Structure 1
Amino acid sequence: MSNQKIDKIAPKQEALISVYLDKWKKIIFSTEKIHRKKATKSLNKAYALNGLSKPRIIFLDSPAAIESIGLQVWIEPRGKLYSYLSSQFQNQIENPLWHIISAKLFHGSINEHALLINLYFPLESLIKNHLYRVDGYETFETKYWLAYSCLFDFCISVLNCAYPAEYWYIMQDVAENCGLIFGSESVAIICDRPTKISFDNQNRLHAEAEPAIQFSDGYSVYAYHGVIIPEKYGLSLPQKWQSEWILEEESAKLRHVLIQGIGYARICEELKAVELDLWKDYVLLGIDEGLGVEPLYFLKMICPSTKQIHLLRVPPNINSAKEAICWMNWSINLTDFPMQV
């Protein structure tokens, strides 16, 4: 291996970053059922490489099945694989370039696809809630394992970095053959992949009147444009959501989802918005009573030519229709704004 470190990549190599992100995204969001024999073989090799005996492997159909196990003490033995591989590649790549490709591939696998966190967070949380933490406990997060795999794959296949073959092959095996994993020195849990994952056109977890994530045993996660929502909301189309739910919901994030899904017009009608102020074809509306949270204020606008009504949400500290118009138009003075929009 040459002692000279890689300090730059060619445009053609850089163009392949998106290719490797897409490749590993398909692996991350696979809905193919775990092949238990392959998964067992892969995990046994990973344990052996960590100097551990073969673990007792428990397969779950979904994270919800963790409730039936009752194991308590967990110590994560994952570190040797990716920390060793990472050091091997960093020894061959100059730090500035390593940080760039890490940001685009490792962090890109997580941050650019925020749905990755949305997919695994509720599942990991469900499992971790049933585990007893001890000193040295470190959560195995599948998203990081797969993100490292994406980064290492690029270093090997595109940058032609030298690598310890056994480590890399085992890491690929685990990434491709196992789903969500939690392990101790003697026991490992492998949770099967979802049978269904749904996204919106911006690659956010999303489904209407059905689960966004579903497992073979029926365990489901509901989501609306990237936000995890309760089953109560997820089972209905947004057109059937009730404005009263906004009054009952304690979470600001979920209130925002309800407002987004129900729409301002229906909210104003069903929650009996009060007319607070009027100026020409503009009306300031407010909903305060019964919210128990920050009031909802809207500027109602009537198009002079088409008579079509538009509603825009404005801050609750607005006191008049004129002030709402100024806020809507980046604080422009009304003397400079003679015509309605």
Structure 2
Amino acid sequence: MSGTPLPPFEGILTSEHETLIAGIRDQWMRDGLSTCPVDRGEAERAVCEMYALVGLEPPRLRVWVDSPSGCFPMVSALGRPVVHYGHFEDQLKECLERRLRDRLGQRLWDRLRCQLRTRLWEQLWGQLRAQLRGQLLGHFGDRAGSEPSRYVWGAQDIWRDAYWIAFYTSALRVAGAEPDERLDALAEVTRGLGWWIPLAGAVVMSGRPAAIRRDGDLRLHCESGPALAWPDGHALYAWHGTRVPRWVITAPSCEAIAAEKDVEVRRCAIESLGWDRYVAETGLPLVASAEDPRDPALTLALYEVPEKVLGEPARVLLRVGGPASPGGSRGKAGLVVPVETATPLEASEWDHPGRSEGQR
């Protein structure tokens, strides 16, 4: 692709430009979601080249761990200063900005910047950095007194850097500028590793996750196990994008739900258990029932949900395959509706943005 001539950028991306940008974006997405084992030899070579390019002695000590969680105690044990790449990245971005501005002029560069952001932001920032990295950082933050709080801002990883590396790589190509050796070297390191923390004379590196599981809306989610997992057993559990304790996925129960203080975790746990079981085991009062107009073989059953359950009074609609009684056969999914919803038929027609059966 790098040898394919492109039309000059004149303010609007051509189909050739669009194809190029989509290819760069999609490759970074594949790399960011990869669960393949890393090539440790190639990764170490790339890291050493990266150190040399930023004026540092290549690390003689190269330590491997199996997850980001394993990086932090290892850094602490080594007792070496963390090399913060932020200064190098800022300098590199400033240099690339000048090159692109000189190449295109301020007006065209501003237009290209906006168009690239539109095409890259949602996936490379939203899905990788905000969703995956953000959830993992939140998970680390939940662990009071853990090592990550001291070292996480020195950590590099593909979820953190995919967006801006792809952004400038695309910009240079569309502008018809020469590649940048430092950007390409950083891209190679970023693609070849999971997390890595550069130190003075050393580097701590981890491989990729062994599993990344998401729902149809591309949120971290798994109903039967961890949504993120690494070979050393470190794992993160999530329900449709909400980070939850392990028990919500592996052993939900009405007792655990009642003891949970976080309303979002309670909601996820009920959905994981199944609204049918929750209604039956807690004895939620039946408001009304009616034949399902979309399927006469089913019954619509509307139940009262006390304020203490979801943080506000509500009702839940179930489609059941038997009599609409507490002992009847019910579906796992439930549709939560406002407490003012008077009838099952009204509830079945209720449409709330961002909510669907069995989800938020």
Q: TM-score, normalised by structure 1?
A: 0.74
CA positional deviation for 1:69: 4.5
- Larger mean Cα displacement after TM superposition, 262-271 or 166-175: 262-271
Deviation sequence 1:203-257 (CA, Å, 0-9, x none) = 3333232222222222222223333322222335xxxx32343322222322222
- Larger mean Cα displacement after TM superposition, 140-149 or 26-35: 140-149
In structure 2, what is the equivalent of residue 61 of structure 1? 66
| CA spacing shift, 1:244–1:286, aligned 2, 3 Å | farther
CA positional deviation for 1:51: 2.0
Structure 2 unmatched ranges of 5 or more: 1-7, 292-299, 352-360
Pair 1:119-2:132 in alignment: yes
Work out the CA distance in 2 between the residues paired with 1:329 and 1:196. 36
Higher helix share: 2
Work out the CA distance in 1 between the residues paired with 2:22 and 2:57. 38
Q: Select which of 318, 325, 336 maps to 1:313.
A: 336
Pair 1:83-2:93 in alignment: yes
Pair 1:285-2:303 in alignment: yes
| CA spacing shift, 1:125–1:290, aligned 2, 3 Å | closer
Q: Is the 8 A contact 1:195 1:216 kept in 2?
A: yes
Q: Is the 8 A contact 2:31 2:191 kept in 1?
A: yes
Work out the CA distance in 2 between the residues paired with 1:52 and 1:74. 13
Q: Is the 8 A contact 1:179 1:192 kept in 2?
A: yes
Q: Is the 8 A contact 2:75 2:204 kept in 1?
A: no
| CA spacing shift, 1:122–1:31, aligned 2, 3 Å | same
One-letter identity of the residue aligned with 2:35: T
| CA spacing shift, 1:260–1:234, aligned 2, 3 Å | closer
CA positional deviation for 1:327: 11
| CA spacing shift, 1:202–1:301, aligned 2, 3 Å | closer
In structure 2, what is the equivalent of residue 298 of structure 1? 316
Q: Aligned ranges for residues 1-341 of structure 1 at < 5 Å?
A: 6-55=10-59, 56-65=61-70, 66-71=72-77, 74-81=82-89, 82-84=92-94, 86-87=96-97, 88-93=99-104, 94-106=109-121, 108-111=123-126, 113=127, 116-124=129-137, 129-131=146-148, 133=150, 140=156, 142-157=158-173, 159-235=174-250, 241-275=252-286, 285-288=303-306, 291=309, 293-298=311-316, 312-316=335-339, 318=340, 321=342, 325=346
Count how many residue pairs are aligned between Structure 1 and Structure 2: 313
Q: Is the 8 A contact 2:215 2:221 kept in 1?
A: yes
Q: Is the 8 A contact 1:21 1:105 kept in 2?
A: yes
| CA spacing shift, 1:37–1:141, aligned 2, 3 Å | closer
Deviation sequence 1:183-211 (CA, Å, 0-9, x none) = 34554322211122223333333323222
Work out the CA distance in 2 between the residues paired with 1:168 and 1:96. 22
Match of 2:253, SS state, is coil
Q: Is the 8 A contact 1:299 1:321 kept in 2?
A: no
| CA spacing shift, 1:323–1:194, aligned 2, 3 Å | closer
Work out the CA distance in 2 between the residues paired with 1:74 and 1:178. 18
Work out the CA distance in 2 between the residues paired with 1:62 and 1:256. 30
Match of 1:57, SS state, is strand
Work out the CA distance in 2 between the residues paired with 1:62 and 1:170. 23
Structure 1 unmatched ranges of 5 or more: 331-341
Deviation sequence 1:15-60 (CA, Å, 0-9, x none) = 4443332211111122222222222221222222222222343321
| CA spacing shift, 1:290–1:127, aligned 2, 3 Å | closer
Let me know the Cα RMSD of the aligned residues.
Answer: 3.9
| CA spacing shift, 1:262–1:90, aligned 2, 3 Å | farther
Q: TM-score, normalised by structure 2?
A: 0.70
Work out the CA distance in 2 between the residues paired with 1:182 and 1:102. 28
One-letter identity of the residue aligned with 1:165: D
Q: Report percent identity of matched pairs.
A: 20
CA positional deviation for 1:5: 7.1
